[in-house]
Amino acid sequence: MQFYNDYNVEKVNWLKIKTLTLGYTLPKFISKKLFLEDIRMFVSCENLWTFSNYSGVDPESVDIATGIDYGKSYPLARKLTLGLTLIF
């Protein structure tokens, strides 16, 4: 039988920029010169930034079943996506 206590419990406040997408559609006169109907460029980022007073690596990386941070888990990976949409 395992007992837990609240001796090491932290009050954690955090704010995470989980997903951010920025895009730009070129003006029609530019796309028409390139024989395209539309051109759009974008960049998207996931897990961009975490603002937190948490002493561990990432407040989302604690064990879901127990709520304990054993210090063995990795923070969520940051992902960057670049894209180009062409409509013919």
Assigned token pair, 45: 């980022």
Query: Which residues of the chain fall below pLDDT 50?
Result: none
* pTM (2 d.p.): 0.71
Over the stretch 62-77, which tens digit does the pLDDT of each residue have? Answer: 777 777 787 777 888 9
If you search the block for the tokens 């955090």, which residue do you land on? 14
pLDDT at 1: 63
